[in-house]
A and B are shown apart, each in its own frame.
Chain A
């Protein structure tokens, strides 16, 4: 049961759920950031499964740096979100159309 493919399927499902969440949720920026965390979790699980499978610890080093960057990204993203909320009074993704993108 605990094969490499089992872990890869789990990671792919996690990644897919995160992606679906980013597409479905179109009103809340915080849930969007949480979906990014889900995507990164799937990728990290892949790295660790391959690190175990290939008997090589370099994959875990990758995960270490991904965790660092993700923590920094979450902190800056949430700070930006709070500033945005204070300026606009909403964090609705649909209302962020000032640049007409």
Chain B
């Protein structure tokens, strides 16, 4: 018996799997990025169905809003050469076989048990998911939370310093230190020249 929730679950799961497949199969990286956005939306729906409302919304806000925008910027900045796969065929087949074995093992391990249906749990929703998550994050997990903040700061500094050097080199602004330290000799050069009287020939009338 399929009820209303199952329809939503199936729709979101289908959306996630199809868009994940399109991410790895489409030739154009812009299409890949846009399909990844769709996969994030589907996952956010699934997470919200699992009562992780805060994280589902964070996935949309942070990932779709910030990270995928960054991806799209880079995809549009960088010029790609879109080549078909041709070499390293044996390595690819080996890798695919490895993934297939891993997937079969995973699915076998999963589907043998845990057929209990998921119901609405009270503990992770008390009083609301965001409230519960926040109160835990600022008390028990406050130290990892601070470390995560430092990590983000590190990422900011790293990204800016990676790109900052190039910006510093190419910028068209005034260098104030050089401007203050300038001397008269740098700007004005007096050269000795021999004074020569040049004689002009009178213009001939053309007509």
Main secondary structure of the interface of B (DSSP, over half): helix
Partner of B16, one of A10, A16, A56, A86: A10
A-contacting 9-mer, from B110-118, B171-179, B187-195, B197-205: B110-118
Main secondary structure of the interface of A (DSSP, over half): helix
Instruction: Answer yes or no: A34 CB below 8 A from chain B CBs.
Output: yes
Q: Which residues of B contact A (CB under 8 A)?
A: 2, 5-6, 9-10, 13, 16-17, 20-21, 23-24, 29, 32-33, 36, 39-40, 43, 46-47, 49-52, 54-55, 58-59, 62-63, 66-67, 70-71, 74-75, 77-78, 80-83, 85, 87-88, 92, 95-96, 99, 102-103, 106-107, 110-111, 113-118, 121-124, 129, 132-133, 136-137, 141, 144, 148, 151-152, 154-156, 158-159, 162-163, 166
Q: Which residues of A contact B (CB under 8 A)?
A: 1-10, 12-21, 23-28, 30-31, 33-35, 37-38, 41, 44-45, 48-49, 51-53, 55-58, 60-61, 63-65, 67-76, 78-83, 85-86, 90-92, 94
